[in-house]
Amino acid sequence: MAYSSTFEDALLRVQSFAKRADINAEITEALCHPKEMMSVSLPIRMDDGTKQYFSAYRCRYNNILGPTKGGIRFHPNVNSDEVQALALWMTIKCAVLDIPFGGAKGGITVNPKDLSPMELERLSRAYMRAMVNFISPHRDIPAPDVNTNALIMAWMLDEYESIKREHSPDVITGKPVELGGSLGRDDATGRGAYLCTLELIKVMGWSPNNLTVAIQGFGNGGYHIAQLLEKVGCKIVAVSDSQGGIYAEEGFHIDSLWQEKQRSRQVRAVYCDGSVCELINHHPITNAELLELDVDILIPAALEGVITKDNAHQIKAKAIVEIANGPILFEADDILASKGIKVIPDVLANAGGVTVSYFEWVQNRSGQHWSLDDVHQKLKDKMIDAFSQVWTLAEQKNYSLREAAYINALNRISTATSKLGTHHYFKQT
């Protein structure tokens, strides 16, 4: 199929895996229709006195397993098609991890780097004002995603609480710890992916020492997994951001790259001793070249749709860990499988974020504060458990890890949905 829509691509996967697992057709059909979609224009008074209009969306995809959950992204490419696909993936992701949430996603079509801090605050508050009846602690709980962070969650929480005139920290996750956020939420996505990667290394009989790793996208998730993998001996040989990438055979010192990225907003090949950073030997590479490097582990941690049928044949990595949502198109799945490449799918690999969001929501609802050790241990248990369920099913049935993850999720969603009655039940009565 030609790649026309992210949502259609996401649906094709669900339909194909559901068929393979013999999921009831009525339930598969239910999963092809987003429950609710809110689409608004946000008028914002800019600092220069002009008014600009920003398109914004929130999709609650499916809530059979619990209130809907998912982040809000600020990006120029946000549109309703993408938001629906992302909300469907959240539905699958929460079910893979067996956490009691449905799936949702939201976004604003904007490049936040073009806004002043005050314009960004006005836009974030306007989003929550527009969505205030769509969102609630029992209905739909947002969180950060691409280009959004704890500060933006704090503004949105403050707006919600001002309108509702009540304290309601459980309406949003990924907020600052001082406002009810959870310890361990900031690095949870990278840590969850790291835990899955370690499990894969174990079951494959590899050793982390000197495994080479390339990371496309050096944001929050990419940085944290890089730092954790570096600690267990992996060599991070390539890193990129939207401007391009860098490659060094001997590997980078991740905290130096991060320090420089915070300072210059660029990925630069430096080694820092304290605050003094020096350029090291490296080759500049493009994002496309990074994906095709001969490394052990490739980590796409930027945006969707970067591995397609056109470049899948050129991928040389032994394993791919999807930290981004949807970096591999459905059309590329079989090509990668035929090359024997193990793919830890996004709905498992990047689920650490929503898992700690769930912990945050539980803490808010029960008035507790868990220690960092507690959060780390609980996250580890959850990720290892989900990984091993997926791995076991994949081995038993000769499924890819993505198929096995989806089938575990579809079975959970299908069992819950069927408790309301199916065609089979009503036909008999």
Return the closest-CA partner of residue 41 out of 57, 30, 26.
Answer: 57
Catalytic-role residue among 93, 105, 261, 342 = 105
**Cβ proximity to ligand GLU, 91 vs 414, nearer residue:** 91
**What tokens were used for 84?**
């629906």
**Cβ proximity to ligand GLU, 328 vs 335, nearer residue:** 328
For residue 248, the minimal CB distance to ligand GLU (Å) is 30
**What tokens were used for 164?**
């509702």
**Cβ proximity to ligand GLU, 354 vs 410, nearer residue:** 354
For residue 69, the minimal CB distance to ligand GLU (Å) is 5
**Cβ proximity to ligand GLU, 226 vs 351, nearer residue:** 351
**What does 85-133 look like in DSSP terms, one character per residue?**
HHHHHHHHHHHHTT-S-EEEEEEEE--GGGS-HHHHHHHHHHHHHHHTT
Per-residue burial over 102-120, b = 16 or more CB atoms within 10 Å of its CB, e = otherwise: bbbbbbbbbebeebeeebb
Instruction: Give the footprint of ligand GLU on this chain (CB under 6 A).
Output: 69-71, 143, 145, 173-174, 325, 350, 353-354, 357
For residue 14, the minimal CB distance to ligand GLU (Å) is 17
Return the closest-CA partner of residue 291 out of 200, 217, 344, 229.
Answer: 217
**Cβ proximity to ligand GLU, 27 vs 143, nearer residue:** 143
**Cβ proximity to ligand GLU, 91 vs 325, nearer residue:** 325
Per-residue burial over 244-262, b = 16 or more CB atoms within 10 Å of its CB, e = otherwise: ebbbbeeebbbebbbbbbe
CA–CA–CA angle 175, 35, 415 (5° rounding): 95
**Cβ proximity to ligand GLU, 71 vs 181, nearer residue:** 71
DSSP-derived 3-state class of residue 402: helix
Which contiguous run of DSSP H or E holds residue 29?
A: helix 25-30
**What tokens were used for 47?**
């600092």
Which contiguous run of DSSP H or E holds residue 270?
A: strand 270-273
**Cβ proximity to ligand GLU, 212 vs 220, nearer residue:** 220
Chain centroid to CA 68? 15
Active site residue 35: no
The tally of CA atoms less than 13 A away on the side-chain side of residue 176 is 9
For residue 70, the minimal CB distance to ligand GLU (Å) is 5
Phi-psi region at 305: left, alpha or beta (left = phi > 0; alpha = psi -120 to 50): left
For residue 88, the minimal CB distance to ligand GLU (Å) is 12
CA–CA–CA angle 133, 134, 136 (5° rounding): 80
For residue 392, the minimal CB distance to ligand GLU (Å) is 24
For residue 120, the minimal CB distance to ligand GLU (Å) is 18
Which contiguous run of DSSP H or E holds residue 239?
A: strand 235-241
Which residues are known catalytic residues? 105
